[in-house]
Every structure is written in C-alpha cells, then in structure tokens.
Amino acid sequence: MTATVSVPPVADIARRDIPAFVRAGERMMWIGGRQVAAVSGRTLPNTDPATEETLASVPRGEAADVDAAVKAARAAFTDPGWADMSPDRRGRILHQIADVIEEHADELATIDSVNMGAPRMLTAHMLAEASEVFRYYAGWPTKLSGVSVPAGKDRMAYTRKEPLGVVGIIWGWNGPMGQLPGKLAPALAAGNTVVLKPAETASLSTLRLAELLAGTDLPAGVVNVVTGLGAEAGQALVAHPGVAKIAFTGSTATGKLVQRQATDTLKRTTLELGGKSPSVVFADADLDVAVRGVAAGFLGNAGQACVAGSRVFVEESIREEFVEKLLKTMEAFTPGDPLTQGTLVGPLSTKAQFDRVSSYLDIAREEGANVVTGGGRFGDHGYFFAPTLLDDVRPGMRVVREEIFGPVGVITTFTGIDDAIAQANDTDYGLAASVWTTNLTTAHRMAAAIEAGTVWINTWAEMSTGNLPFGGYKQSGLGREGGLEGLDTYTQVKTVRIAL
C-alpha cells in the first residue's frame, strides 16, 4: 500500500451549496425528446469525490436503450424538420445552444466540479470554451459546399458534402463539458443526429445539458443521451449497425477495443486517446515562467488530462536550479475543495482512479524511482492525492512509459537538442508536448521534430475554441477534432455526374 502523506487534512467540505440537480435522486436519460428510465430499471450512482458521498443516480442503460436511442436519432435524421432545415436555421440553433450554455455556465461548471472533482476555476474555463466552440461551428452550415468539376462538353460534374447519419459520441469523465462540444457541435453543424454516452461516473452535467437543449428549437430526437457502463451501453453503441460513426475520447486501451469493434460494421471513428506528453526545458528558458507551466502541465486537474506533461526533461546544466524552483511552485498546488476559489488541484475522480494512481507509486518505488515529494494520500477523506515528483527514473520504467492519469511527474535531464528530441519521442504516445526556450531556432526545430499532434512553445494546454485541429500521433489517436479538419470527419462526399 502507498504511504499516507503527513499533511494537514482537507477542510470539512461536506456541507456545501451545490446545484439542486445533483441532489434530485434518480435522473433520467433522454431519448426522442423524452426523459426515460433504463429498460432494466437499474441505476448507477454518481459520487462526489471530495466527500465520497453519493449524489444523484443515473440509469444503467444497456443494448435495448441504445437501440431505442439510435432509432429515435435515425427518425430525427430523416424527418424534414431536421433533414430539410436550411443551413442558416441550423446555424441559428447552434447559436441558441451556445446561448443556453452561457446562461447556465455556472451551474454546469459546478455540476462537473462536484461530480468529478475538477477545480471550479478549471470547469468554468471549460464552459467558457464550450459556448465558443458552438459559436464557431454555428458559422459552418452555410459554408459546407461541394465543388463543380470540369467534365467536358455536354457533361456536368459536381460534389456534395452530406451528413453521415447517426453519430455515437462517447467521452471521458475528466472534463465532460470540456470534451463534448468539440464532438457535438461539428456533428450537428454537418446535419447529423447523435446518441451521447457520457462516462458512467460523471453523467450529470450531460443530463442537465440535455434538459436545457429541450428548451431550444433543436428538434426532438436530434440529441439523445443514454447513460450506463462502457462495457454495456458503450459497447452496444459502438456495435450498433444503425450508427455511422463513433467519436471517442478515452484511454488508448479502450480506444483499441472501439476501433476493433467498429470494423464489424465498417463505421468511421475518430479516437482521441491517451498521452505521456513531454515538457522540455532548455537552459535559455525563462525559468520562472517555465516552472509554472511545467507544474500546471502535470498537476492541472490532478493530472487527469490526456495532454498532461508528465515527462519533464530539463537541460542538465540547470537541473538543480529548476528542481528547486519546481518544488517551491508545487506548494501552490495544494489539494483542496474544488468549489473553493483559488483551488488548483481537486481530488481524483473516483476511488478506482485513486487506487490506480496509488498502485503506480508502489510500482515506482519497486522500480527504484525516488519520490522527491508527495507519493500518497492527501488528508483523511475524499480521493485527494498529494502532488508528486519522481526522479532517478530510467526510460524503461513503467512510470515513465505508461499513462498514470494522476498528479505525478517524472523528471530527467538532457544534454542538447538532439538528446531532447530523442527522449521526447521515446514513447508510444504523441498527443502533445511543450517546449520552453527563448531561442527561436530551437523552438522551430523542436516543433518540427517532436512527434505530437500539438506542440506548445512557452505555454501549456492552450486549447482552441474550435478553430484549430486537435489530435494525436502514434497511439494517441486517429483523426482530428476542431477546425475544418474536425468538421470534415462528420461529412461524406457524394459525386454527381450529369449527361446534359
């Protein structure tokens, strides 16, 4: 077992003002514009990770529920109320959704903070970005055009961009309202209908959003929500022959299962998967800025981020100074109540996640890594884990190669730019990276050489509001979300040839 860190206990947070929605007993799924229970009648608890208290329960949907949702989505897809809607009208509805999100941003952000533990300042940022993503894609329905192609005398040829049909969306518990818009907004902008399957442990904000969408002009059945376990509802959604595409965010292991199962019906997939991202700090960097960025890179959201910069590489000549500054900076990341202003690190999302992170610290010690700070439970209740830094690590260690998904960073040194590139790329993943340097040549060379879908220079985790593509290299995923690249994954191209 992992040792308990000797630190002051987290303040009593059991008596907080939280949205009534999460205290309302059993919530319902949304299928065909109606709130429904699971066919089986079974439910799943959603828990507050800061207090370990059970919040509202959600339906434990299974294959029968997924089938009903897909049929409702298919009916909405072919109904003239959606299928024949003008592009301008569809864009206005996306703006309505953005308005609703803005109006209820405080509530939705608080629900996510209570339900999965992310600090309130982080979930508020996610909700601000969410409305902007919908506004960005609201401009696209009027611009989804094909092209006219020269075809010779007495011939005409052109292409059409058309929606795919029913899209299944499955995404992570580590930021529900941060991840969903990048999938839902382009899917709707392209004219698809959707079935949403949120994470079973963090479903409440999605159910509340569905309730809010019912008050917009979005036709019934265009957006459906089925809650339940990944192995039941999620698997049924991936396997359903009536689903044309799966957009998935989650672990690489689960993403591989999704991809394999999707091949049975040859449905399209976009997969945003795990990461073990490098943060590379050169000796010429502004160390004070770099230290803050690096700390936030592996401690933000308690390390529960696919882009977490959990592998820290520091140029050998500044190692001692950098580590000293980093340890000092980490003191500001003391775990606390996610709803308290100024909290930078909340609890891990579930007991299972707490146990997983704890097991990796046991592995780290067994492999010979040195725990510089942290290394175990923080406080005496809730799933809080102390911010942790490991050194004396080697490239082959599991804590260096595998995604821990907790507030744990590993630090090592490099001797020059070629060594930095080699070490940064020595991973099965390739989602993101950060480079800290004041040398423009170094910055551009690193940006070109690092095998990752996103490279940040002198910053970390700056996500776009929809206008830039995001995705991974190697085992960090397939396809892109965001921008025109993301929108294209929700369309198919039809060629038309006419003999005049």
Could you give the residue numbers annotated as active site? 272
Output the six-digit token pair for 230.
């990944």
- Write the Ramachandran bin of 186: left for phi over 0, alpha for psi from -120 to 50, otherwise beta: alpha
Reference 273, options 453, 66, 482; nearest CA is 453
Helices (H) and strands (E) in the chain, counts: 17, 20
Other Cβ atoms less than 10 A from the Cβ of 172: the count is 24
CA distance 175 to 250: 11
Cα dihedral sign for 311, 317, 318, 323?
positive
| Terminal Cα distance for the chain, rounded | 77
For 123, the enclosing helix (H) or strand (E) is helix 120-138
- Cβ proximity of 307 and 461 under 8 Å: yes
Maximal C-alpha separation, the chain: 83
What is the Cα 392 distance to its own chain's centre? 31
Identify the bridge partners of residue 59 per DSSP, sorted by sequence position: 43
